[in-house]
Chains A and B, each alone.
Chain A
Amino acid sequence: MEMSKKLQLARLAAQVRLNILDEVHAARSGHPGGSLSIADVLTYLYFCEMKVDPKNPKDPARDRFVLSKGHTAPALYAVLAEKGFFPREDLITLRKVDSYLQGHPDMKGTPGVDMSTGSLGLGISAACGMALAAKLKGQDYRTYTVVGDGESEEGQVWEACMFAAHYKLDNLCVMIDWNGLQIDGPVAEVMNPTPHDEKLRAFGFHVIVIDGHNFDEIEAALNEAKTVKGKPTAIILKTVKGKGVSFMENQVGWHGSAPNDEQYEKAVAELKAAL
């Protein structure tokens, strides 16, 4: 990847992270940790990978994205706003009673949201349905979904994986956000779902493991996924929960709590330095 493109992506991702902080700070609740861990991959998906048009968010030919780990909606909204689906100023209405930015993604109310998610394990199945619909209709759009590593403890995730491989959904790309932490603690201690790579291979996926914060690796993996025929691809993203805000990184406490004013100012100062 050219250095200029990489710098542009880094700046965009920093702005996405700032948006995430703005959202959860204004809402006084939400899930910053797992939002920050997927900020880079979502930035790449929406700015370099997916065929989407903010002016025509329901275009039947568009690529689809399903945030199966729906609690990290702040990351999705942050990217959608940057992409122009709705004004960045609206982000601070997150979780407010009359806002179209619900605590978890709502496809009926939010431009650019392709599927309502939030209850873990359901989104990946819906993504399978979207990918299957493309096959049935002979459409060439692709479907992407991000699943949490903690979320992969849900049995339905594996039902969906079986389905994706059985129906040879090579137009589906499942990304696992392997940040290693869930609400109650380290994923390995709560209920260890690893090794994801071996399990997904056994389930019939083409598996790629990458650094989920490295744009070169993200680009290479997504390009590789498009060349795979006859089976779905899983990209395991090794990420850092809370990535980009020093005091949030790898801290389980930031899974589902918002920064106070002082913490917010500190985080903003760090992220602005990356702009």
Chain B
Amino acid sequence: MADKIATREAYGAALAELGEKYDFVVLDADLAAATKTGIFKKKYPERHINCGIAEGNMISVAAGLAAAGTTPFASTFAMFAAGRAFEQIRNSVGYPHLNVKIGATHAGITVGEDGATHQCNEDIALMRTIPGMTIINPVDAVEARAAVEAALLHNGPVYMRFGRYALPVINDADYKFELGKGVTMREGTDVTLIATGLPVHLALTAAEMLAAEGISARVVNIHTIKPLDKDIVLKAAAETGAIVTVEEHSVIGGLGAAVCEVVCEGLPVPVLRVGVEDTFGRSGTVPALLEAYGLTPENIVAKAKAALAQKK
């Protein structure tokens, strides 16, 4: 598939497609056109519930729907789901382990021109701390669709992270998604690039660049950040001896931190993190922002070389 498609678009399309097979409802907070739940609404207007601009209420309403045996998807921007409604997600959904699916779109800096207030680089960190929460951050439209179905089949709260920016589709249509299992996208022996979401695309380019310099880089796609596939991380530590993590999220508390935790406790090897450093986002075009925040194949290559230099 040559066309580029944003994971939020795939999310909306998946809801509309799966609405026939599964019994669920979709909640939104006045952002149906942006989160793309509007695609579902068009097909199933009676199953789409607009909650208005009141995200905290929306999450607790979703909890009540789930407590009464209905499966709700609650959608808004990542900033207003994980950020604004963190406590509702923790107390109304997480604590009673209710079957609420949170579709959080516009995550990370690729929100673009809207700038810092809307660029959520903290949601993975926040959601990771909630016991029993499953976190999925798909790499492309195929994986996003698969993630929605996997979330439906999983009994418990799921936080799905989708992006605004259109990306190439890198998985085949027959791709088999396994919740909680990382995917080795490219084999390698010298260093492993562990990425999630959009940065997987960057890591694959970086691996090509490294190969041109005679460095064999493995690329692992972590679509499920929690529960984390510890085996694939420790295997990478054991077999390549150095790791670079890449995420469109703060380097604090996200994928990089999760990988460091596993590696430090299991098999210490150098881990360097690429992501948004301890800073806020800002307005700009997506390519300009990715460049400004070091989310580039070039920076990943540099970090990979630095990690290699740290290998004993």
Contacts and interface: CB of A to CB of B under 8 A. Distances in A.
Given A122-B88, A132-B61, A108 B68 contact: no
Interface residues of B, number: 28
B64 A115 contact: yes
A129 B91 contact: no
A162 B56 CA distance: 13
Max count, chain A CB within 10 A of own CB: residue among B66, B67, B70? B67
Interface string A113-129: 01110110111011111
A195 interface: no
A130 B64 contact: yes
A160 B68 contact: no
Given A107-B96, A156-B56, A118 B91 contact: yes
Interface stretch (A2-10, A34-42, A133-141, A248-256): A133-141
B289 to A, nearest CB: 33
A159 B67 contact: no
Given A118-B91, A136-B25, A136-B70, A129 B97 contact: no
Contacts of B57: 125, 128, 156, 159-160, 162-163
B63 interface: yes
Given A119-B87, A136-B25, A137-B70, A129 B64 contact: yes
B27 to A, nearest CB: 9
A87 interface: no
Contacts of B70: 133, 136-137
A64 interface: yes
Contacts of B45: none
B61 to A, nearest CB: 4
Contacts of A137: 69-70
* Chain B interface, >50% SS class: helix
B60 interface: yes
B92 interface: yes
A134 to B, nearest CB: 7
Nearest to B63: A126
B215 interface: no
A125 B96 contact: no
A136 B87 CA distance: 27
A64 B68 contact: yes
A127 B57 CA distance: 11
A131 B60 CA distance: 13
Q: Main SS of chain A's interface residues? A: helix
Contacts of A156: 54, 56-57, 60, 88
Contact of A129 (B52, B54, B65, B96): B65
Contacts, number: 105
Given A115-B67, A132-B49, A133-B68, A122 B60 contact: yes
Interface in B61-90: 61-70, 72, 87-88
A271 B201 CA distance: 70
A66 B67 CA distance: 11
A127 B64 CA distance: 6
Contacts of A106: 95-96
Nearest to A137: B70
Nearest to A156: B56
B51 interface: yes
B63 to A, nearest CB: 5
Contacts of A127: 64
Interface string A160-184: 1011001100000000000000000
B290 to A, nearest CB: 36
B72 to A, nearest CB: 8
Given A115-B96, A116-B96, A119-B91, A162 B52 contact: yes
A126 B54 contact: no
Interface in A229-263: none
A137 to B, nearest CB: 7
Among B51, B60, B95, the most chain A Cβ lie within 10 Å of the Cβ of: B60
A129 B60 contact: yes
Given A121-B56, A125-B60, 18 more contacts: A116-B92, A116-B96, A119-B87, A122-B92, A125-B63, A125-B92, A126-B67, A128-B64, A129-B65, A129-B66, A132-B61, A132-B64, A133-B65, A136-B25, A156-B88, A160-B60, A163-B54, A166-B52
15 contacts: A64-B68, A114-B67, A121-B56, A122-B56, A122-B63, A122-B92, A125-B61, A129-B60, A129-B68, A130-B65, A133-B65, A133-B68, A136-B47, A155-B56, A159-B56
Interface of B: 25, 47, 49, 51-52, 54, 56-57, 59-70, 72, 87-88, 91-92, 95-97
